[in-house]
Amino acid sequence: MIEMQKPVKTSKERRPEKNKEEVSSIYKVEDLNLWYGSDQALYEINMDIPQYQVTAIIGPSGCGKSTFIKTLNRMVEMVPIVKTTGAIHYGGQNIYEDKYRVEDLRTKVGMVFQKPNPFPKSVYDNVAYGPRIHGIKDKKTLDHIVEKSLKGAAIWDELKDRLNENAFGLSGGQQQRVCIARALAVEPDVILMDEPTSALDPISTAKVEELIQELKKDYSIVIVTHNMQQAARISDRTAFFLNGELVEYQETDRLFQNPEDKRTEDYITGRFG
């Protein structure tokens, strides 16, 4: 493990320098409607999600923001009664086509959940889980991936001597960063984060936010948050959802300083929600 002194982000270095003017989009959402049984939860969502940026999704409880982020990796299908219409294009393909394999999608699109959800295994086995299910068995390769991922999640220094400890014994903030490392280990292109700091204390939250800034250099990030300050701090673009509709989708600064829609203004000035 020690002689592996490769740079931390090998696989992603091919990426061309980011040019602010011509941001390409990684997701194109078209006319997305979604129902839980007979209750419609999302209405006609149209949205382009840019590559290598942080896109925040805000809105009051029950507005459909968590549902929406879960449509991006089809995790929403874990609820058996869900129906969708419309399309979400990822890499030029509609991920809701029958022939599109979810396993494939979820390999490219990682997810970090609201509550830290490590497996009841060691830190090492948690992070190595993804590579292992994708067929990597070689111990040296796994060691390298685990180290790289934990470094990527800014938790290597804290945990490098505790790799064999059960992840359940870590603090909530550490668990969440192990979960982020676990997502990174699969080398996704996109990371979806569903209120990743809502179960964390302020210091852990600050660490995760800092980490997100770091990660967006190499990953496209979509983050759901109920915390408007957080969205303002860390995101490049912000989408405001209300009652299942996408009300406004703007560059973050514009949305918070000069919202176009009255409802957005009411929400961000604290008149409801």
Partner 1 sequence: MESKNLNGRVLKNKVMKTLFFSATVIALVFLVLLFYRVLSQGLGYLDWNYITSFPAPYPEEAGIWPGMIGSLMLMGVVAVVAVTIGISTAIYLEEYSPKNKLADFIRVNIQNLAGVPSIVFGLLGLTFFVYLFGIGYRLLAGGLTMALLILPVVVVSSQEALRAVPSDVKEASYGMGASKWQTIVRVILPAAVPGILTGIILSLSRGIGETAPLIIVGAATAIYTLPDSLLSKYTVMPIQIYKWTARPQEEWQFVAAAGIIVLLVILLLMNALAVWIRNKYQTRY
In the complex, the residues that contact partner 1 under the rule CB under 8 A are 73, 75, 78, 80-81, 102-107, 110-111, 113, 115, 117-120, 129-130, 133-134, 168, 179, 182-183, 186
Nearer to partner 1, 65 or 182 (CB): 182
Angle, CA of 188, 89 and 23, to the nearest 5°? 70
Q: Each residue of 23-61: b (16+ CB within 10 Å) or e?
A: eeebbebeebebeeeeeebbeebebbbebbbbbbbbbee
Nearer to partner 1, 7 or 120 (CB): 120
Structure tokens at 207: 């660490």
Name the minimum Å distance from CB 74 to partner 1. Answer: 9
Identify residue 203 by its one-letter amino acid code: I
| Phi, psi dihedrals of residue 205, rounded to the nearest 5° | -60, -45
Nearer to partner 1, 107 or 243 (CB): 107
Name the minimum Å distance from CB 28 to partner 1. Answer: 22
Name the minimum Å distance from CB 199 to partner 1. Answer: 11
Nearer to partner 1, 18 or 83 (CB): 83
Name the minimum Å distance from CB 204 to partner 1. Answer: 18
| Phi, psi dihedrals of residue 106, rounded to the nearest 5° | -75, -15
Name the minimum Å distance from CB 192 to partner 1. Answer: 8
Nearer to partner 1, 89 or 121 (CB): 121
Q: Supply the angle between the helices 139-152 and 123-133 in degrees, to the nearest 10.
A: 110
Residue 237 in contact with residue 50, Cβ under 8 Å? yes
Name the minimum Å distance from CB 113 to partner 1. Answer: 6
Nearer to partner 1, 176 or 264 (CB): 176
Give the Cα separation of 227 and 196 in Å (integer): 11
Give the Cα separation of 225 and 209 in Å (integer): 12
Where is 48: in which H helix or E strand? strand 39-50
Nearer to partner 1, 32 or 178 (CB): 178
Strands in 25-36's sheet, in edge-to-edge order, are 39-50, 25-36, 82-90, 93-94
Give the Cα separation of 15 and 28 in Å (integer): 21
